[in-house]
Amino acid sequence: MRSLLARFAPDPYIMALLGTVAFASVLPAHGEGAHVVGLVTNVAIGLLFFLYGTRLAPSAALEGLRHWRLHSFVLAATFLAFPAIALLLRLLMPSLLTPGLWTGLIFLSVLPSTVQSSIAFTSIAGGNVPAALCAASASNLIGIVITPLLAALLLTTQGHGFQAGAVGDIVVQLLLPFAAGQLLRPWIGGWIASHKRMLGFVDRGSILLVVYTAFSEGVTQGIWHQLDLEQLGALVLVNVLLLAIVLTGTRLLSRALGFSRPDEITIVFCGSKKSLASGLPMASILFAGQSVGLIVLPLMLFHQIQLIACAVLAKRYAAANSPTAALTGSEATARG
């Protein structure tokens, strides 16, 4: 009974995110307090990307060049197919969401893949884990540069409020700390790796701080007066549709191109994810002065939806790969 309850227990971090949104809704930072929180958040973002730099091994991305077809597929799904589908959905259903939510959806579509969950789900499903490590690492390394550029291209040209000058802020707050982490990685990478649990609190605490800052600003700008239950339901629907199209497309196309089953699994899980950890800090910089809380809401919902959907899909892949499933399939063939 306890194991059954544990299986359906909500993720503590997701609950912490929701609690932070609720706290910001009741007690938002404003005035001088908002200024102080903003400065602390900027420092936390720099620290977050510094730690990313110390963890991501460039050799992992370079090693991935050996399997260039797989990694090209994942990068194309992440940075080309995702934005194209998001733009198509907006073209077909422009009035379904508010302009701010469409901006958030297009922004999430240009984000890099996750690292930890992509690798974890690939492992559970019986996929090519080394390739997943390379693909997810490469996506994040490239995403630090290409995400702001794609956001500038897709949002500035359509008049949706992207701050083109924020690219300079990206360099200062994200690229420089990341580069510093890469440079210092040979000396402190081992220590960082041996203190994953402690530094995990720094990671998650930084994200919670970014969420609090974003939603504090959104509350003071009347975010909850701009969004009703109908809009929230429509946003969930669009997120589910976007993820379903990408999951189905990567799965079918990888099979059509002749990838092995382990590689197919890697493509599906690495090519369908969007990073909350990278997206929230980037949004706070790229959309400074706007209703950031409203813009990051699609990403926060998509993050939870992708975890649930991919957990189910990983278990199905694992079940299909199990010896019992293989034996059953052989028996069925023999009987047929």
Indicate the domain borders of the chain.
1-319
| Higher-scoring residue by pLDDT: 70, 225 | 70
Assess whether pLDDT exceeds 50 at residue 1. no
Query: What SS3 state is found at 115?
Result: coil
Assess whether pLDDT exceeds 90 at residue 131. no
Q: For residues 140 and 113, is the Cβ–Cβ distance under 8 A?
A: yes
0.75 exceeded by pTM: yes
How far is Cα 182 from Cα 313, in angstroms, rounded to an integer? 34
| Ranges assigned E (strand) in 190-237 | none
Count of other CB atoms within 10 angstroms of residue 175: 16
| Higher-scoring residue by pLDDT: 314, 202 | 314
Picking from 194, 199, 62, 184, the residue whose alpha carbon sits closest to that of residue 130 is 62
Picking from 70, 38, 7, the residue whose alpha carbon sits closest to that of residue 292 is 38
* Confidence band for 150, pLDDT divided at 50, 70 and 90: very high
Mean pLDDT of the residues in the chain: 81
- Which H/E stretch holds residue 93? none
Q: pLDDT tens digits for 268-287?
A: 999 999 988 888 888 888 88
Count of other CB atoms within 10 angstroms of residue 204: 16
Fold for domain 1-319? Na+/H+ antiporter like fold (1.20.1530)
- Work out the percent of the chain whose per-residue pLDDT is above 70: 83
Q: pLDDT tens digits for 216-237?
A: 877 776 766 667 889 889 999 9
DSSP for 130-149, please give it.
HHHHHHHHHHHHHHHHHHHH
What tokens appear for 231 in the block?
Answer: 């809009």
One-letter amino acid at 14 equals: I
